[in-house]
């Protein structure tokens, strides 16, 4: 640990417009950790390049993701907000941990299989070793807790395995982190195919609600959401579309499923879809307004990048130096 206060780490890729799944499953919950933990929140641009990126788009989205962090309530005075590539220790530790990660472990990663099938023309080594870089991100800061969506739980479990393996050879090197997965909204599904997770890379734009969608677009997308042939708003097996909409409504209103069922008793799906769209748009409106203010001040965002990188690098160097010394690397001052 970096001191008496426990450590929280998480990161978001700047590889596309962020969705309400990113917001409800991760970013919105980040600020709740600020009081109890020392928090490091990273724009993980190095992870983004496992898939080919247009350089100008990657640069723009890096600014946008940092602005969204702050617009969603992350106070730079209470959290360390920075860009991954600005702290070289992430990549340095990743190489070391590659040498303590088994090929078989990486080949079992579900996301590698999924992304390989989607990008069959670019199954690169970085895509394969992506989880080791993620482990380095986490372990660099002696992280205690990692707030993640359920789809990233497997990667955090691998991170724990790597830390424990390294600690067996070199005792007391890394803190072994715990994943924290929000119970409500832990996985927001596609509006077009509610058996699949909502993904910012989905080609069907009606399947996704972006954090920055305008009010009319949000309501239109929810009106078109796939449901079922029933007409009763209730949470039940086989009602994937309605279950997903009820989960989203619950996240934005704080109401549980029984309350939602009572609220919409005797009312059809049309009324319910409109209500979900309206509460979503209402919740995102202040986030969007703050985001536009922040993005207009490019110099301010760059100042935050510099400040955050300096803070993160201070802690990262401590861990990296400890690891290098234990390995037997010659250190010069």
Q: What pLDDT sits at residue 127?
A: 81
Question: Of residues 197, 255, 307, 318, which has the active-site annotation?
Answer: 197
Q: What pLDDT sits at residue 187?
A: 81
Q: What pLDDT sits at residue 113?
A: 66
How far apart, in Å, are the Cα atoms of 155 and each of 54, 102, 255, 280? 26, 14, 31, 30
Residues 6 or more apart in contact with residue 43 via CB below 8 angstroms: 11, 12, 13, 14, 62, 65, 66, 69, 82, 83, 84
Q: Which helix (H) or strand (E) holds 179?
A: strand 178-180
Q: What pLDDT sits at residue 1?
A: 44
| pLDDT, tens only, 40-65 | 999 999 999 888 889 999 999 999 99
Q: What pLDDT sits at residue 230?
A: 86
Annotated catalytic residue 200? yes
Positions of the chain with pLDDT lower than 70, given as ranges? 1-3, 16, 113-119, 182-186
Q: What pLDDT sits at residue 186?
A: 63
What residue ranges do the domains of the chain occupy?
A: 6-181+298-327, 205-292
Q: Give the angle subtended at the CA of 286 by the CAs of 285 and 291, to the nearest 5°.
A: 100
Q: Give the angle subtended at the CA of 143 by the CAs of 179 and 148, to the nearest 5°.
A: 30
Question: Of residues 115, 186, 221, 239, which has the active-site annotation?
Answer: 115
Q: Check residue 31 and report its DSSP letter.
A: G
Domain covering 6-181+298-327, topology: Rossmann fold (3.40.50)
Annotated catalytic residue 115? yes
Q: What pLDDT sits at residue 199?
A: 86
Prediction pTM value: 0.87
Annotated catalytic residue 6? no
Question: Of residues 6, 78, 153, 200, which has the active-site annotation?
Answer: 200
How far is residue 190's CA from residue 211's CA, in Å, rounded to a whole number?
14
CATH number of 205-292: 1.10.240.10
- Residue 8: strand, helix, or coil: strand
Q: What pLDDT sits at residue 116?
A: 66
Half-sphere exposure of 82 (CA within 13 A, CB side): 24
| pLDDT, tens only, 269-312 | 999 999 999 999 999 999 999 999 999 999 999 999 999 999 99
């Amino acid at each position: 640990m970096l001191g008496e206060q426990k450590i929280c780490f998480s990161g978001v890729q700047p590889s596309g417009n962020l969705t309400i799944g990113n917001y409800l499953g991760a970013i919105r919950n980040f600020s709740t950790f600020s009081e109890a933990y020392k928090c490091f929140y990273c724009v993980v641009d190095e992870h983004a390049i496992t898939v080919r990126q247009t350089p100008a788009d990657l640069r723009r989205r890096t600014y946008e993701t940092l602005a969204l962090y702050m617009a969603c309530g992350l106070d730079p005075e209470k959290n360390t907000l920075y860009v991954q590539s600005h702290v070289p220790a992430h990549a340095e530790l990743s190489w070391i941990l590659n040498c303590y990660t088994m090929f078989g472990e990486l080949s079992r990663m579900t996301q590698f299989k999924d992304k390989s099938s989607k990008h069959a023309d670019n199954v690169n080594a970085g895509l394969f070793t992506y989880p080791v870089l993620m482990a380095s991100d986490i372990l660099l800061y002696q992280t205690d807790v990692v707030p993640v969506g359920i789809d990233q739980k497997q990667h955090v479990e691998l991170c724990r395995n790597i830390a424990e393996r390294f600690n067996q050879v070199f005792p007391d090197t890394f803190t072994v982190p715990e994943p924290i997965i929000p119970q409500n909204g832990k996985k927001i599904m596609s509006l077009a195919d509610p058996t699949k997770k909502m993904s910012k890379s989905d080609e069907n734009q009606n399947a996704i609600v972006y954090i920055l969608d305008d009010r009319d677009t949000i309501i239109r997308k929810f009106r078109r959401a796939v449901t079922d042939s029933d007409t009763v708003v209730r949470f039940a097996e086989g009602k994937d579309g309605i279950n997903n909409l009820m989960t989203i409504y619950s996240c934005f209103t704080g109401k549980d499923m029984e309350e939602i069922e009572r609220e919409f008793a005797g009312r059809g799906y049309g009324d319910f879809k409109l209500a979900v769209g309206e509460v979503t748009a209402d919740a995102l409106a202040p986030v969007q307004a703050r985001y536009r203010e922040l993005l207009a001040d490019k110099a301010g965002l760059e100042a935050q990048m510099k400040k955050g990188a300096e803070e993160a690098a201070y802690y990262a160097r401590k861990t990296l130096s400890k690891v290098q010394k234990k390995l037997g690397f010659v250190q010069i001052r």
